[in-house]
A and B are shown apart, each in its own frame.
Chain A
Amino acid sequence: MADKKNYFFDKPRNVAIVLYSLYFSCALLLLLDFIIHRHTLHPWEGLLGFYAVYGFVGCVALVLVSTWMRSVLMREEEYYHRNESVDEVEDHQGGNNVGH
């Protein structure tokens, strides 16, 4: 059955609201670094915006390295099962509740 209902994230405006609140929160947190003095244990912790930069750069690096890993490690889904007799029809563990 076709689903004609318009859901929350079907409206681009709502997606934009979520994204802009994220940008705003990030900016605010970075600004707070100027106002609040964080007490630190590691010398790098005291750097302005250390956690923000570390989080952002770390995640970008994580995704780029993972994407590169795909070129080395990725195989087709049935890689291990080519020589094993797998009954594909039986291979579903649930899902008698789906309508389209």
Chain B
Amino acid sequence: MWATEIPAFLPFFIGGIIALFTRGTFRGALMLATIIASGIHLWLLGDGIHLSLHFFEYELIPYRVDKLSLMFGYVFHIAALMGMIYSLHVRDTMQQVAAMLYAGSALGAVFAGDLLTLFVFWELLALTSVFLVWASRTERSYQAGMRYLIIQVLSGVVLLAGVIYHVNSTGSLAFDFIGLEEGVGGWMIFLAFGLKACFPLLHNWATEAYPESTPTGAVFLSAFTTKTAIYTLARGYPGTEILIVIGAIMAIFPIFYAVIENDLRRVLTYSLINQLGFMVCGIGIGTTLAVNGAVSHAFAHIIYKSLLFMSMGAVLHMTGRMNGSELGGLYKSMPKTAILCIIGAASISAFPLFSGFVSKSMVMSAALYEGHHYVWLMLLFASAGVFHHAGIKIPYFAFFAHDTGIRTTEPPRNMLVAMSIAAILCLVIGIRPNWLYNLLPFDTGYQPYDTSHVLAQLQLLLFSALAFVWLNLRGLYPPELRSVNLDVEWIYRRFLPGLLRSIMKWLWRTDATARAVFMSRLNGLFSYLAKLYYPGGKLYRLRPTGNMVMWVAALLAAYLWLLLSFAH
């Protein structure tokens, strides 16, 4: 059938171009129709497509659909659909076009069967998404977007360099298992994937750009870039031991920042990195159960993280505020948004019957089965921590806590519809996990609901909640303060510019001193000569011609000496 030849990114790119020339409700309807049609097309075709063409002596595979890429293809369609419904009220052509092209690029990247195609979509992801940050049209978002773009493009450059090494050593462009044993190429591609996957120390582009993007833009941003990176890691580096450690660190360190962060969308970004940690860990463990866990967690995560970003976006849209210190008591005027946010919070916290529970537990179980006991303890701590900051802190400080007196209304209906779809999906996946499991790349027969597991998880979560209550009642819980907390970004936003400034300052000073010394020497020489020639000086009495003859004689003597010394 001819339809099988249509790669999933194509409808999105065409949709993006149409969005450029259409307006209003018509454009919204057209975008939704494009996404739904593309999704149905993908669903009907299933896996097993392999489109290849020849490029010089290499084989390019611009479109490959197997079970792994298909999972991401499905969830990217869901995310695009939710994001598009959520932003139907937006009348900003730049955002609508960027969102369509961005979603298309993500689909292009996950269905890329060769590394060159992957590189092209990898860079397109960066170029299209930055407009969702810039669309806030503030000085701050412009600067954050610029740094975001530089880091993202850099990731693409590193990827390209790695691909060149890789092709040199293997002779193939195919994007399959790569691994670190391969040497420089393997490491460079790993680093490029890691940059987009928010590896520790490389993560600040997300915490900087996402909170500066528009309320609707953040919903798209939270879904695509990092999960594309998770897919590429699952494809190229499953079972790479170092990923277990990286993932465990990623799951732990952001929760400390999230507890003291004031901007609630930045709290969500830190918790996004924490969730990526679970996926990276699963990929590192590399067993079928662990990779299944990583992939299903990515699937569930995109939906509940979108829901959380949508609920915070709704708060920002309605109140113009996003700092925990300025919010509170919103359940009084936005009760529906509050309930939807709590469903997202319960899902990310992995409460039984919510989506996070059925996906995260696979990674945790895999860590135990494979004997990574310390990693398991770290992930368990991260699970309690994520409930603490994303599960409780986000809804509590936005919708409850002290009443700041803000009275507004529920957000536009399209926003509520998008959030409701996400919330329903969170519950459906949590209650009927087999529907999700049937789509997974491997059949492991895993069942999340047994008494031990449910009891253990409930104990962990409710006692974490008890800790929150106890700390609050004792006055030990850190209050929300207008502040920023230093992170790795300090190095390139403060330290390096400061270092450069001091180096330049030192250079200017040294230069000025050197010039001053030279000038004073020159002046000294002139005044010495003046002293000789002015009345009373030693050479004053000689007539200028006699003077000249003396200097010519001196020059000739010097010349003669040079000639005799270096003749041979």
Contact = CB atoms under 8 A, between A and B. Distances in A.
Q: Do A and B bind each other?
A: yes
> DSSP class of B's interface residues: helix, strand, loop or mixed?
helix
B320 A53 contact: no
B478 A67 contact: yes
Contacts of A23: 466
B380 interface: yes
Contacts of B332: 3, 5, 7
Contacts of B373: 42
B6 interface: no
Contact of B407 (A25, A49, A100): A100
Interface of A: 1, 3, 5, 7-10, 19, 22-23, 25-26, 29-30, 32-33, 36, 38-42, 45, 49, 51-60, 62-67, 69-70, 72-77, 79-81, 84-87, 90-100
Contact of B467 (A29, A55, A67): A55
A58 B384 contact: yes
B331 A67 contact: no
Given A93-B320, A96-B320, A98-B319, A3 B407 contact: yes
Contacts of B235: none
Interface stretch (B99-107, B286-294, B456-464, B528-536): B456-464
B538 interface: no
Given A29-B455, A63-B259, A66-B478, A86 B463 contact: no
Given A1-B407, A3-B332, A62-B256, A53 B463 contact: yes
Interface string B75-91: 00000000000000000
Nearest to B380: A54
Interface in B469-488: 469-471, 476-478, 481-487
14 contacts: A51-B456, A58-B380, A58-B381, A59-B385, A60-B471, A63-B467, A87-B138, A90-B139, A93-B320, A94-B318, A95-B317, A95-B318, A95-B320, A97-B317
A97 to B, nearest CB: 5
Contact of B409 (A7, A55, A97): A97
Contacts of A66: 256-257, 259-260, 478
Contacts of A1: 407
Interface of B: 136-140, 143, 214-215, 255-257, 259-260, 316-321, 331-332, 365, 368-369, 373, 376, 380-381, 384-385, 388, 400, 403, 405-409, 451-452, 455-471, 476-478, 481-487, 493-494
B407 A52 contact: no
Max chain B C-beta neighbours (<10 A), residue from A41, A57, A94: A94
A86 B140 contact: yes
Scoring B320, B462, B476, B494 by chain A CB atoms within 10 A of each residue's CB, the highest score goes to B462
Contacts of A97: 317-319, 408-409
B384 A38 contact: no
A56 B140 contact: no
Contacts of B461: 55
Nearest to B493: A80
Contact of A63 (B368, B369, B407, B471): B471
Contacts of B467: 55-60, 63
Contacts of B466: 22-23, 26, 56
Contact of B486 (A52, A75, A100): A75
B463 A74 contact: no
B11 to A, nearest CB: 30
User: In the complex, which of the residues B373, B464, B493 has the most CB atoms of chain A within 10 Å of its own CB atom?
Assistant: B464
A51 B365 CA distance: 15
B251 to A, nearest CB: 13
Nearest to B404: A100
B385 A38 contact: no
Contacts of A10: 403
A70 B478 contact: yes
Given A69-B256, A98-B319, A59 B485 contact: no
B405 A100 contact: yes
A87 to B, nearest CB: 5
Please list the 7 inter-chain residue pairs (A to B) with the smallest Cβ-Cβ separation, ordered nearest first. A95-B320, A59-B467, A55-B463, A66-B259, A38-B452, A51-B459, A94-B317
Given A91-B140, A100-B406, A74 B485 contact: yes
B451 A36 contact: yes
Contact of B214 (A30, A90, A93): A93
